[in-house]
Amino acid sequence: MAAVVGVVGWVSTPVGRWLGWEWMQYPGRRLYAALMRGAVEERAARDAGIRAAQEEEEAVAEAADEEVGDRAERPAGPVPAAPTTTSEGNNSVSGFRFEEYAAEMETAAHSYEPESAMEILAMVEGLPAALTSVANVMRILAERADSEFPLEKAVADSFSDMFGALMSAVAVADDMGPQFRQAHEQDIARHEDPRNGTQAEKGWNV
């Protein structure tokens, strides 16, 4: 739906800018953001129901454990905790280091030297999928923070908010490909549909 409305936006956005009417500008992006907000709200309501059921189950299980605990034999002294993994005398930190992957992407952007503008076009048209993957990281963390990790609901909600914000960025990225092609229509045509072949087109050495 957002994609269809986004096509309409190619016409309505310039008109809206000329008339000064913001409601006519970027309808696809606005619709997509509204749909994402609705999805996040629906998920929050669904998760609240799941949490309530889990809390009820945990309460029943805890009551059962207390009954067993009253009859179970307790150890005479303290039980040692499981040893922590160490590396060269220091506690090792392992797991998902999102900042390291993000720093690698930032470094790659600084050193990026495209061979041609068509390579930039391919990169731009791949941005929606790339940003969707980044957004999905936040979605997965929100789901696991809510159901697996020992975290409060506010933390899971923050991950959900980041997911929604990143999906709004995906909507902007969706518009970049068509905008790029429209702005460089003649340049792209010389590559995708060269006159009398690629070698002949090279005659315009400008």
pLDDT digits (tens, 9 = 90+) for 46-56: 888 888 888 88
Contact status, residue 5 vs residue 23, Cβ threshold 8 Å: no
80: in domain: no
Q: How many degrees, rounded to 5, is the angle at CA 181 between CA 25 and CA 130?
A: 80
Instruction: Look at residue 82 and tell me if it is in a domain.
Output: no
CB atoms within 10 A of CB 156: 21
Identify the pLDDT of residue 206: 53
Q: What is the pLDDT of residues 73-110, one digit of tens each?
A: 545 545 444 444 444 444 445 577 888 888 998 999 89
Question: pTM to 2 decimals?
Answer: 0.50
SS3 156: helix
Torsion (CA) 5, 27, 122, 186 in degrees, nearest 10: 90
Residue at 76 is within a domain: no
Distance set, CA 60 to CA 53, 54, 55, 57 (Å): 11, 10, 9, 5
Q: Is residue 92 part of a domain?
A: no
Residue 147 lies in a domain: yes
- Our count of domains for the chain comes to 1
Looking at the domain assignment, is residue 170 inside a domain?
Answer: yes
Residue 91: in which H helix or E strand, if any?
Answer: strand 90-91
Spatial contact of 162 and 139, defined as CB atoms under 8 Å apart: no
Domain of 54? 2-68+115-192
What is the C-alpha R_g of the chain? 27
Average pLDDT over residues 119-138: 92
Mean pLDDT for 118-134 is: 92
Domain presence at residue 86? no
Report if residue 109 sits inside a domain.
Answer: no
